[in-house]
Chain A
């Protein structure tokens, strides 16, 4: 792990790549997000592990096992890259399946005691979805994860049943706060509300959005529109 930490410092990436915490594995940075796991898996770990395990020719059993493990990891990362590609085709889907099978066979060989999870089974069906529905970007559920994240960050008193007219209003107001605080630029507000009610002060923005919500009582409409625009 020390070697990987030292490599994380030296790895250079463009600015559009999601940054990875340099103290990876410590509790201080909290849970990694899905995109950080993906970035770590397809960029940082292969670079570091190939340097550590892939370059030295050795016949001792430990090195051989490390190389076999590297092959298994590379198969998994290849499958992830193919599955999350922005373009797909039957041949990419077939290549994905090949790599995923190779990964699972490798795991079975290296760790015979390991029991596969339902997710592994599901991953073997992903190639069918790639063929049927196209690239995963158009049908994965990360937008819903974002909504869940927003809802999780709303402060509550953990009392169920605070219903009636007040709670939906509070919830809407909190959602507005979240939208405004989370990378929601003026452009999106203008697109949603029109330029005439977008002022510089956050209070004005809040009240304008609240007004919009009160006129359009279904908050689902707002969410849908916000995410359509975002």
Chain B
């Protein structure tokens, strides 16, 4: 399971004021919602983060490398998300924090008559709507692994087409307990 080691990525632990850029108002609001102490105006926008040798990038750079499974706390389930931005901010206490701005895939609409035929605990296959939610902030420690995905359109009997995505976990070590 991936754990964030700041030493693994020099880019993530060095503050360079020259490359810091102004944070857009909507993103600042998201940051404040996440942590009210994050009242920052500027941030460094990183294009990638290397954790345990794996490259996590923003979706603009490489879509496949931006697809990640996240987990907010130990008790919750993993959910797929796309990394939109990687921020490095300097807090009021002069500490550096690296944060991920992500959009997670929404759950399948309840009106859709579709579900996976069984559970695939080892493969880690799940089904999601291909629509993404609003921006959210996560820590690099919340990252679990990459995922592979297949987007497609599903049409049930007498139903409208629904854009869906099948997600498969790429954890090289099983993220499910045995």
The 0/1 profile, CB within 8 Å of A marked 1, for residues 14-47 of chain B is 0000000000000000000000000000000000
- Contact A14:B173 (CB < 8 A) given known A55-B117, A82-B122: no
Q: Once the chains bind, are A81 and B174 in contact (CB under 8 Å)?
A: yes
| Contact for A87 among B123, B148, B173, CB less than 8 A | B173
- Contact A12:B67 (CB < 8 A) given known A81-B122, A85-B173, A92-B178: yes
Cβ-based interface call for A91 (8 A): yes
Q: CA of A81 to CA of B175 in the docked complex: distance in angstroms?
A: 11
Q: CA of A25 to CA of B174 in the docked complex: distance in angstroms?
A: 30
Cβ-based interface call for B170 (8 A): yes
Name A39-86 residues within 8 Å CB distance of B: 42-44, 46-48, 50-51, 54-55, 57, 67, 70-71, 74, 77-78, 81-82, 85-86
> Range of interface residues on chain B?
20 to 34
Name A77-124 residues within 8 Å CB distance of B: 77-78, 81-82, 85-87, 89, 91-92, 94-95, 99
With CB as the reference atom, state the residue of chain A lying closest to B174.
A85
Cβ-based interface call for B11 (8 A): no
Q: Once the chains bind, are A12 and B122 in contact (CB under 8 Å)?
A: no
29 contacts between A and B (CB under 8 A): A10-B150, A13-B64, A13-B146, A15-B62, A15-B64, A16-B54, A16-B55, A43-B148, A44-B148, A46-B123, A46-B125, A47-B125, A47-B148, A48-B150, A51-B166, A54-B117, A55-B117, A55-B154, A57-B113, A74-B120, A77-B123, A81-B122, A82-B174, A85-B172, A85-B173, A86-B173, A87-B173, A89-B178, A99-B122
Q: Which 5 A-B pairs have the closest CB atoms?
A: A78-B122, A91-B178, A47-B150, A14-B146, A12-B64
Q: Once the chains bind, are A10 and B151 in contact (CB under 8 Å)?
A: yes
Q: Once the chains bind, are B67 and A14 in contact (CB under 8 Å)?
A: yes
Give 8 new A-B contacts, CB below 8 A, not counting A17-B64, A43-B170. Answer: A12-B148, A14-B54, A15-B64, A17-B148, A46-B120, A47-B148, A51-B166, A54-B116
Q: Once the chains bind, are A15 and B55 in contact (CB under 8 Å)?
A: yes
> Range of interface residues on chain A?
35 or more
With CB as the reference atom, state the residue of chain B lying closest to A77.
B123
Q: CB within 8 Å of A: which residues of B?
A: 54-55, 62-65, 67, 113-114, 116-118, 120, 122-123, 125, 127, 146, 148-152, 154, 166, 168, 170, 172-174, 178
Q: Once the chains bind, are B168 and A10 in contact (CB under 8 Å)?
A: no
Q: Once the chains bind, are B150 and A78 in contact (CB under 8 Å)?
A: no
Name A2-58 residues within 8 Å CB distance of B: 7, 10-17, 42-44, 46-48, 50-51, 54-55, 57
Q: Which residues of A contact B65 (CB under 8 A)?
A: 14-15
Q: Which residues of A contact B178 (CB under 8 A)?
A: 89, 91-92, 94-95
| Contact for B120 among A7, A16, A78, A94, CB less than 8 A | A78
Name A129-172 residues within 8 Å CB distance of B: none
| Contact for A51 among B54, B123, B150, CB less than 8 A | B150
Q: CA of A197 to CA of B109 in the docked complex: distance in angstroms?
A: 65
- Contact A46:B122 (CB < 8 A) given known A87-B173, A95-B178: no
